[in-house]
């Protein structure tokens, strides 16, 4: 029953690969270790992006606060977004996909979808750190 679900989830190629891996346990272990390392590395890179976005948001908000500028989530989002898009490939090469089964390239669109980075996200962070009231 479980193997049928695995076949269905992974697609037609899995009916050839899974029996072969079962007969070659060393290769199975190697594939599993490589997948684990890639997945772990992707998670670390995604966390690095999330930390960068939060730190950049708070740093710019503090700077604006010291300059007595009004903190607007939409304007702050645009500022952080511009800085982040120029940094994204230093922060990550790949991240886990939304199902967290495999890794995908760390493009602006992919990372933004995984982190939820948006003006609403910026507002939530600002409220959480007492820069704005709800």
Domain ranges of the chain: 2-128
Residue-level pLDDT at 97: 86
Residue-level pLDDT at 113: 94
- Per residue in 86-103, pLDDT tens? 999 899 999 998 888 888
Strand partners, 105: 94
What phi and psi, each to the nearest 5 degrees, are found at residue 78?
-60, -40
* Those residues with Cβ within 8 angstroms of residue 89's Cβ, 6 or more apart along the chain or in another chain: 106
For residue 28, give both structure tokens. Answer: 């199975």
Residue-level pLDDT at 28: 80
Residue-level pLDDT at 16: 82
Residue-level pLDDT at 83: 93
Residue-level pLDDT at 18: 78
- The angle, 0 to 180 degrees and rounded to 10, between the axes of the packed helices 25-66 and 14-23 is 120
Residue-level pLDDT at 49: 95
Q: In the 8-state DSSP scheme, what is residue 129?
A: T
For residue 93, give both structure tokens. Answer: 């090469």
Collect the ranges in the chain with pLDDT lower than 50. Answer: none
Is the separation of the CB atoms in 88 and 112 below 8 Å?
no
């Amino acid at each position: 029953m479980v193997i049928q679900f695995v076949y269905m989830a992974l697609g037609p190629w899995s009916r050839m690969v899974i029996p072969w891996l079962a007969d070659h346990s060393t290769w199975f272990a190697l594939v599993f270790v490589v997948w684990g390392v890639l997945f772990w590395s992707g998670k670390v890179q995604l966390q690095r992006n999330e930390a960068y976005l939060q730190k950049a948001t708070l740093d710019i908000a503090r700077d604006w606060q010291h300059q007595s500028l009004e903190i607007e989530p939409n304007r702050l989002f645009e500022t952080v977004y511009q800085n982040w898009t120029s940094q994204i490939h230093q922060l990550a090469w790949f991240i886990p996909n939304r199902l967290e089964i495999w890794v995908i390239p760390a493009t602006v669109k992919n990372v933004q979808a995984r982190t939820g980075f948006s003006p609403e996200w910026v507002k939530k962070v600002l409220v959480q750190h007492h820069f704005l009231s709800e």
